[in-house]
Amino acid sequence: MESPEHARAAGRAVPDALVGRLLDRRYRIGPRIARGGMASVYEATDIRLDRTVAVKVMHPGLGDDDDFAQRFVREARAAARLNHPHVVGVYDQGDDDGVVFLAMEYVPGHTLRDVIRKESPMTPARALSLLEPVVSALAAAHRAGLIHRDVKPENVLIGDEAHGGRVKVADFGLAKAVSADTQHTATGGVLIGTVSYLAPELVVDGRADARADVYAAGVVLYELLTGNKPHEGESPIQVAYRHVHEDVPAPSEAAPGIPAYVDALVARATARDRSQRPADASVLLHQIHRVAQALRDGILDDPELTADLALAPTHPDTGDQGDESNDTAPEPFDPIAMANYRETSDATSDHVHTTAIEQLPASVASQAARPPAPRRPATPAPVDTVARKRSVKGPLSFLLVILLLAGVGVGAWWFGFARYTTTPGVLGVTEAAATSQLDRAGLGVEVGTPRFSETVEAGLVLGSDPEPGERVLKDGTVTLVVSLGPERYDVPALKGMTEDEAQDAIAAGNLAFGDSVEKFSDSVPAGSVMRSDPPAGTTVKPDTPVDLVVSKGRRPIEISDWTGKDADKAIAALEKRKLVVEVTGEEFSDTVAEGAVISQNPTTGPLFKGDEVQLVVSKGPELVEVPRVIAMGVEAATEKLEALGFQVAVENSDSYIGVGFVFSTSPDAGDMVAKGSTITLYLI
Active-site option among 46, 50, 92, 150:
150
DSSP state, residue 543: T
Beta bridge partners, 428, equal none
Measured between alpha carbons, how far is 590 from 261 in angstroms, rounded to an integer? 106
SS3 185: coil
Q: How many whole angstroms separate alpha carbon 32 and alpha carbon 18?
A: 9
DSSP alpha helix (H) spans, 414-479: 431-440
**Rounded Cα distance, 29 and 22, in Å:** 6
Q: CA torsion, points 100, 103, 107, 113, in degrees to nearest 10?
A: -20
3-state secondary structure at position 479: strand
The sign of the torsion formed by the CA atoms of 458, 461, 467, 468 equals: negative
Gyration radius of the chain's alpha carbons? 48
Identify the bridge partners of residue 27 per DSSP, sorted by sequence position: 23, 46
User: How many angstroms separate the CA atoms of 90 and 76, rounded?
Assistant: 7
Query: Contact at 8 Å (CB) between 98 and 65?
Result: no
Side chain identity at residue 315, one-letter code: H
Helix (H, G, I), strand (E, B) or coil at 35: strand
Determine whether 150 is an active site residue: yes
Asked whether 333 and 290 are in contact (CB, 8 A), the reply is no
Angle at the Cα of 209 from the Cα atoms of 204 and 211, rounded to 5 degrees: 90
441 secondary structure, DSSP code: T
Cβ neighbours of 347 (radius 10 Å): 9
Residue 454's alpha-carbon distances to 152, 447, 457, 486, 487, in angstroms, are: 30, 20, 8, 5, 7
Distance CA 86, CA 107 (A): 11
**β-strand 678-683 against 647-652: which pairing, if any?**
parallel
Is there a contact between 531 and 492 (Cβ–Cβ < 8 Å)? no
In sequence order, the 6+-apart residues with CB closer than 8 A to the CB of 326 are none
Q: Dihedral of the CA atoms 50, 174, 118, 237 (nearest 10)? A: -160
The answer to whether 407 and 400 have CB atoms below 8 angstroms apart is: no
Indicate the SS3 state at residue 551.
Answer: strand
Name the nearest CA neighbour of 166 among 174, 158, 154.
158
Give the Cα separation of 602 and 607 in Å (integer): 9
CA 525/CA 496 separation, integer angstroms: 8
Phi, psi of 166 (to 5 degrees): -70, 140
For residue 671, the one-letter residue type is: D
CA angle, 616 then 617 then 623, to 5°: 125
What is d(CA 22, CA 35) in angstroms, rounded to the nearest whole number?
A: 20
Phi/psi of residue 440, nearest 5 degrees: -65, -30
Contact by Cβ (8 Å): 255, 266: no
Show which residues are catalytic: 150
